[in-house]
Amino acid sequence: MGPYAFAGGTAVVTGAASGIGEALAGQLAARGSHLVLLDRDAGRLEAVAARIRAASPALRVATTVVDLADDEATARLAAALVAEHPETTLLVNNAGVALGGRFDQVTLEEFDWVMAVNFRAVVRLTHALLPVLKTHPGAHVVNVSSVFGIFAPAGQAAYAASKFAVRGFSESLRHELAQDGIGVTVVHPGGIRTRIAESARVGSGVSVAEYEQGRKQFAKLLRMPPEDAAARIVAAIERRRPRLLIGWSATVPDLLVRLLPGSYWRLIARRAAPATPPSV
């Protein structure tokens, strides 16, 4: 499979109003991709689109406001994307939400909210757009997992479950689509400075003091600018890399899990905050 061709293609990017999604939108546009940008934050999304339109007036930049936690709305969106953007050559499932708290501190409704956005939306959008992507040889899919799709810390049962699911789904999908000439990259970012931590929900059973302590501890790890992470993702797309680890906070846990699959937590528990929101 040759390198992915950005120029002239159309990229659908979820979670495009901030963080990695916003940075990806700008960098894909700089490489000549038309854009379909999705997010639940209408104001931020339109601001991102306006900047890209001003910088690249020759490109088509469409926006759609959607809450991916709403399964029915996501299904309608998927059908609309197929009908309105049959030229799509790249799907980037980047949107994600976080929930702080041990499993016994969150409700099943809160758990399901995370799964809806982080996993079910990925599945729905990918399933709907696959027939479109298959009409364009050399198309590509990017699914953003997390370092918590590599190891599972205490206090992140919902988030880790969703991101491990994205990882498994992506790997299987990659093997299935190879014969169709479609690439699949699963991304595992580590400590990226995005808004997901500040906008994370807190489990109903988590005390404010417990959450704040964990949040402050974890914030120390959020060092990489989203623009740097986006640049690595764009390079991985072009090169058709199957798997991308971003930052030492992803590569080190990956190594620990490989070496100590049953006992890695003993080495990193001291640096983990049980109710802390994840980095990406």
Contact criterion met (CB below 8 Å) for 241 and 143: no
Contact criterion met (CB below 8 Å) for 104 and 205: yes
Instruction: Extract the tokens encoding 152.
Output: 């599972």
Count CA atoms within 13 Å of residue 151 on its CB side.
Answer: 26
Residue 264 falls in the annotated catalytic set: no
Catalytic residue among 4, 159, 211, 264: 159
Give 104-113 contacts, CB < 8 A, sequence gap 24+: 104/205, 105/203, 105/204, 105/205, 105/206, 105/275, 106/157, 106/158, 106/203, 106/204, 106/205, 106/206, 107/203, 107/204, 110/158, 110/201, 110/203, 110/204, 111/157, 111/158, 111/161, 113/69, 113/201
Active-site residue set: 159
